[in-house]
Structure 1
Amino acid sequence: MRRRLTLLVAATTCLVLIAFLVPLALLIRQVTEDRAISRANDVLQTIVPQVGTSDDAALALVVDGLPLPVSVFPPSGAVLGAAAERTPAVRLAQANGRSFTVSSDAGREIVVPVSGTDGTYVVRTVVPADRLTSGVVRSWLVLAGLGLALVLLGLVVADRLARNLIAPIADLSAVSHRLARAELSARASPSGPPEVREVATALNQLAGRIQDLLREEREQVADLSHRLRTPLTALRLEAESLRDEEEAARVTAAADGIERAVTAVIQQARRRAGERPATADATAVVTDRVAFWTVLAEDTDRQVRRELPSAPLPVALPADDLAAALDAVLGNVFAHTPDGTALAVSLVPRAGGGAVLTVSDAGPGFPTGALRRGSSGSGSTGLGLDIARRAAEAAGGALFLESAPGGGAQVRLELAAVKQLPPA
């Protein structure tokens, strides 16, 4: 936009200068020609009174002393002054007795007839072409330099004005991009023209409104999650009243897991924007969750093959989010494959840092649109894979749905490594 404004001003300035300087240049040329012809006429008029009243010898002396080459053609046929031939203009002037100016290759030919006692004399001179345009080129160069200086001055002024206009718009653009990156504390400084200041004020109000809406949404999610604690407490009490100690311990452990998930939801919902991203040891989280699901796999006659590293694998994702993503994927395996279907969990380092988590099974595979949020082919909510996808993308990675090598479905989550951040 800055370049376009500058080019617009430059084009406008050039058009104005052309409309002004071209006629001025032509006028200068015409004035120079008229001045040269006027001077020549003045010279001729100084000798007109002496033509016909002085003898030829005295007239020749006067003509030789003039600053211009002047020729006098008496009726006798001799030429006084500068040698010249009788041109058609001289003969015409001698015939009709009228003065006029004729353009020729040599310049401008001026003839003045004078009536004498013995006939008509013709006084003739030629103004050379270089005299007709003397100083014109220099004047044109001065005009061209003046025009160029005005164009450059216009460009400087236009660039200055464009910069003052573009700077607030660039600031608005930067703030908009920051808001798009979830930096909700970004605010624009109202400056520039009134329209731009109005847009900046509206953008700041929009950012504040977004913050208020997100704050209300987080509180509502936290309140809703907190309401689940009451039925969880009742479930734990019911589990403790079971006579079978093994069954009671398993139900209590499940209730504790649900309570931990509810607590994680509350903490995540009330997490402040802009805080330093949490990290987790993928090895520890995956090992813990696989152990939890292995118990259920034994009850449903499922064989679990695991490939887990012994060294820590730090990833840029909170432990609760990683556990929720893995639970969502494993929950899909148990919900959408028949009992006895084998599954495998693999966690390996990722090239460039991070980890790659792979969950595969020998089931029927994925239905169409499995990654579409809210879409499910078996009556579920359709949010499981979307939760895993958003967790992977939040960690700088991605989720891929593939076919397992031996048939069935395979989910691969790529998790980015933890970035080194400056001290807070």
Structure 2
Amino acid sequence: MRKRVVRVALTAALVAVALLAVPLAVALRSSFYAGQRDTLERAALAAAVRVSPDYATGDPVELPHAPAGGRLGLYDPQQRLRAGSGPLAGDIPIRRALAGEVIRERSGSDLVAAVPVSHAERVIGVVRASSPADAVRDRVLAAWAVLLGVAVFALAVAVLVARRQARMLAAPLEDLSRHCRAVADGDLGARAAPSSVAEIDQVARTHNTMLHSLSELLRRERDFSTNASHQLRTPLTGLQLALEAGLAQNDDALLRPVLAEALDTTHRLHRTVEEVLRLSRSPERPRPAAGDTAVAELLREAEERWHGLFAADGRRLECGTRDAPRDARVPGGPVGEVLGILLDNARVHGRGTARVGVRDLDDALAFDVSDEGAVEGEPAHLFGRGHTGQSDGTGIGLALARDLAVSLGGRLSLTSRAPATFTLLIPVHRAGSWTRPPAGE
């Protein structure tokens, strides 16, 4: 910005100097030449009044001094030099002056003023005053040099003033840019300081107000998720304990499976709450240290959980447990949550048979969840929070699944629109290739 301000100021100064200096230079040149012609004319007039009509009969003529560096002479009607100095034979200005006119023009390399001498209404001679045109030209060049020096000085002053103004304008903007970078790096407490420029101060105040509102919004959202997760954990723990006690004390063959399923549901809900709490507490979402669940076991759990729901809708669920690598382990909690969200999405929005497959990519695993339906609309909007295909939906599921995938160091994407296929790609740990660090490290 500083360079741009200096360039703009220098351009404006150049235009102003050019608009002022060029006409002034032309005016100076015209003034010097006109002044020299006036000087010559005055000298010729002063000599003409001293010429006696008897000079033609031999009466001597006393002419005044010629202009500095010039010549002054008297010529008779035959254009012969009778007194003073000048060319011996008359030239064009003398011939024209014999007609009774005062002549001011250039003759060769001289500036000439020719004044007729009259007596009894007739011209009896001509006084010619001249000076070299080069002398006037040198004076003009000297004046132009002074004018150029003044223009250069004015431009130098303009550059200095522009640089100072550029520093005054750029410093607050640079400070505001540093605060914006600090905010982008996660420092929501950064605030822009006031400056001496009212317009920049207005931008800074707007920035600070926006940042304050954003900080408050984020704080309220994080507090809500933290409070909600904390408050849910206590009743969930109590419900788990009650179900475990009921399962231990009840021998009813019909009731025990129901209690066992309810206990598993509370365990899954507890893990979901923990994952939501972890995401709300960790804006940078660090990757978990290592996997803790075998892929085949994770797929069996998903099949057991979702098989009944799909069957109730008259649909099939196929999980490719046979293709799951036996030496790969993944974080069971977050990966199970993502698969659950994708299967629920397939159950609600898809149709036909739903399938869960696994592809081994050496250092990563790709979980493919597909059905026989098709995805409508723009794929980029699917993972936007609040986007939903139903009027009673919340549009949170796929956005939460994407956030969970990112927290694992992986990604979630739509790999096929028809049939609808979502792919979860995450890094994995092979059995025997990772050792859990000792406690405390």
Whether the 8 Å CA contact 1:303–1:342 is kept in 2: the answer is yes
Q: In structure 2, what is the Cα distance between the partners aligned to 1:339 and 1:236?
A: 39
Whether the 8 Å CA contact 1:401–1:412 is kept in 2: the answer is yes
Match of 1:304 among 320, 344, 349: 320
Shift of 1:272: 6.0
Shift of 1:111: 1.4
User: Which residue identity lines up with residue 238 of structure 2 in the other structure?
Assistant: T
Q: In structure 2, what is the Cα distance between the partners aligned to 1:109 and 1:51?
A: 19
Residue 421 of structure 1 aligns with which residue?
none
Q: In structure 1, what is the Cα distance between the partners aligned to 2:36 and 2:19?
A: 27
Aligned residue for 2:401, secondary structure, equals helix
Residue 368 of structure 1 aligns with which residue?
376
How is 1:11-22 mapped onto 2 (pairs within 5 angstroms)?
A: 11-22=11-22
Residue 410 of structure 1 aligns with which residue?
421
Comparing 330-339 with 21-30, greater Cα deviation is found at: 330-339
Deviations along 1:90-137, whole A, 9 cap, x unmatched? 2453453x6442345544321133468998232213333323322212
Whether the 8 Å CA contact 1:75–1:119 is kept in 2: the answer is yes
Q: In structure 2, what is the Cα distance between the partners aligned to 1:95 and 1:331?
A: 117
**Normalising by structure 1, what TM-score?**
0.74
**Coordinate RMSD, CA, aligned:** 4.4
Distance 1:74 1:29, change over 3 A: same
Residue 108 of structure 1 aligns with which residue?
111
Aligned residue for 1:83, secondary structure, equals coil
Residue 221 of structure 1 aligns with which residue?
225
Whether the 8 Å CA contact 2:36–2:136 is kept in 1: the answer is yes
Residue 436 of structure 2 aligns with which residue?
none
Deviations along 1:160-183, whole A, 9 cap, x unmatched? 312321231243244345545654
Aligned residue for 1:14, secondary structure, equals helix
Aligned residue for 1:252, secondary structure, equals helix
Distance 1:135 1:176, change over 3 A: same
Match of 1:261 among 269, 272, 279: 272
Deviations along 1:349-384, whole A, 9 cap, x unmatched? 56xxxx4532234x3134425826452469765543
Residue 215 of structure 2 aligns with which residue?
211
Aligned residue for 1:241, secondary structure, equals helix
Residue 36 of structure 1 aligns with which residue?
36
* Structure 1: segments with no counterpart, 5+ residues: 418-424
Residue 420 of structure 1 aligns with which residue?
none
Shift of 1:141: 3.2
Sequence identity of aligned pairs in percent?
23
Whether the 8 Å CA contact 2:113–2:130 is kept in 1: the answer is yes
Distance 1:197 1:92, change over 3 A: closer
Shift of 1:409: 4.0
Deviations along 1:236-288, whole A, 9 cap, x unmatched? 5135424356664454333223223223323433x165xx6421256545736
Aligned residue for 1:190, secondary structure, equals coil
Match of 2:399 among 375, 378, 386: 386
Aligned residue for 1:12, secondary structure, equals helix
Q: In structure 2, what is the Cα distance between the partners aligned to 1:24 and 1:207?
A: 56
Q: In structure 1, what is the Cα distance between the partners aligned to 2:22 and 2:402?
A: 70
Match of 1:158 among 162, 166, 169: 162
Distance 1:100 1:235, change over 3 A: same
Distance 1:161 1:259, change over 3 A: same
Q: In structure 2, what is the Cα distance between the partners aligned to 1:262 and 1:203?
A: 35
Residue 361 of structure 2 aligns with which residue?
348
Distance 1:312 1:135, change over 3 A: farther
Residue 341 of structure 2 aligns with which residue?
328
Residue 437 of structure 2 aligns with which residue?
none
Residue 80 of structure 2 aligns with which residue?
78
User: Which residue identity lines up with residue 112 of structure 1 in the other structure?
Assistant: V
Whether the 8 Å CA contact 1:357–1:413 is kept in 2: the answer is yes
Match of 2:192 among 179, 188, 191: 188
Whether the 8 Å CA contact 2:79–2:95 is kept in 1: the answer is no
Whether the 8 Å CA contact 1:43–1:66 is kept in 2: the answer is no
Match of 1:172 among 176, 191, 195: 176
* Structure 2: segments with no counterpart, 5+ residues: 312-316, 429-441
Comparing 224-233 with 134-143, greater Cα deviation is found at: 224-233
Residue 290 of structure 1 aligns with which residue?
299
Q: In structure 2, what is the Cα distance between the partners aligned to 1:105 and 1:38?
A: 19
Distance 1:375 1:247, change over 3 A: same
Whether the 8 Å CA contact 1:403–1:410 is kept in 2: the answer is yes
Residue 286 of structure 2 aligns with which residue?
278
User: Which residue identity lines up with residue 113 of structure 2 in the other structure?
Assistant: I
Deviations along 1:28-67, whole A, 9 cap, x unmatched? 2233224433554566578657744778697699999995
Q: In structure 1, what is the Cα distance between the partners aligned to 2:191 and 2:356?
A: 50
Distance 1:134 1:43, change over 3 A: farther
Distance 1:56 1:77, change over 3 A: farther
Q: In structure 2, what is the Cα distance between the partners aligned to 1:374 and 1:366?
A: 17
Give yes or no for the alignment of 1:122 onto 2:138.
no
Aligned residue for 2:373, secondary structure, equals coil
Whether the 8 Å CA contact 2:351–2:373 is kept in 1: the answer is no
Whether the 8 Å CA contact 1:297–1:304 is kept in 2: the answer is no
Shift of 1:312: 7.1
Deviations along 1:137-167, whole A, 9 cap, x unmatched? 2322332243133224313322331232123
